[in-house]
Copies of this chain bind each other. A is one copy, B any other.
């Protein structure tokens, strides 16, 4: 959660002159997303989110993110639809930042999704994967396997967070680089499909948000990110009932190949390592301008240690 860049009403008024979305009725900085500044905007024509992109989001990637949201929304995915200016562009400039206005989605993110939510989320992830087919732009996964070693090497002092954390990461990295699966079905993935980024209205998915890690990679890797973030309990144990719920709902919409099933334990380790690396880095290098507390890396070292003992996808509920 963060509001980095200040936007006055006067800034907003000038911005809205470029759009045809009515007069502002309410405008508030909201604590959402860790990468960008977000504002809730209500006008006489509807509710919107204004996002200003901070340094972590590279300008060159914005056409991919905004184009993807438009592609997915047109294909029926409940995701924010970028609003175009009168000139037909989705990307604008405000206070020396790139920015965009997207439609506001109703719904609430759950801290602890239950089994029914896991099923709805799993189906939504498969729907997103299918809807992404045919999207013309591509983006490499900057936080995929090739990005892990440079990130690992930029981390200094991890053992101050947890004993032997450096060794845990190094061993996983060596093994994953050697044994990463090849040629699995791939396409557009969300890459950050945490419960935070799925809005529920009762037990139905009302919205999928925060596409700023989206990229092209293995679909089953995205499923692993979801299982890692939806199916562990607060005490650190893996809830296989929730895992089954996610996987069965996903499979019903997009069947998993034998190769994807065989790769699942490795993908689970990989996605745990990815979040362990970024959280460890952010923990040791807090952004002094960030209005956000870094997330605890130890949640993911615990998950990685669990996955290190897993032999077969059955143990995740398959």
Give me the interface of A with B, judged by CB distance under 8 Å: 1, 3, 8-10, 12, 23-32, 40, 42, 106-112, 199, 201-202, 291-292
Q: How many copies does the complex hold?
A: 2
| A1-B3, A109-B9 given; A29·B32 CB < 8 A | yes
Q: Which residue of B lies closest to A37 (CB)?
A: B31
The CB with the most chain B CB atoms within 10 A, among A23, A30, A42, A106, is that of A30
Contact of A40 (CB < 8 Å), options: B28, B110, B292: B28
- Give 7 nearest A-B pairs by CB, closest first: A29-B31, A8-B111, A291-B291, A3-B31, A28-B30, A27-B108, A25-B106
Q: Which residue of B lies closest to A42 (CB)?
A: B106
Q: Which residue of B lies closest to A32 (CB)?
A: B28
How far is B30's CA from A110's CA once the two chains are assembled, in angstroms? Answer: 17
How far is B238's CA from A37's CA once the two chains are assembled, in angstroms? Answer: 33
A8 to chain B: which residues have CB within 8 Å?
Answer: 110-112
A202 to chain B: which residues have CB within 8 Å?
Answer: 23
How far is B201's CA from A42's CA once the two chains are assembled, in angstroms? Answer: 12
The CB with the most chain B CB atoms within 10 A, among A25, A26, A32, is that of A26
CB of B27 within 8 A of CB of A30, answer no
How far is B109's CA from A24's CA once the two chains are assembled, in angstroms? Answer: 11
A292 to chain B: which residues have CB within 8 Å?
Answer: 291
CB of A107 within 8 A of CB of B26, answer yes
CB of A108 within 8 A of CB of B26, answer yes
A111 to chain B: which residues have CB within 8 Å?
Answer: 8-10
How far is B9's CA from A265's CA once the two chains are assembled, in angstroms? Answer: 31
How far is B106's CA from A25's CA once the two chains are assembled, in angstroms? Answer: 6
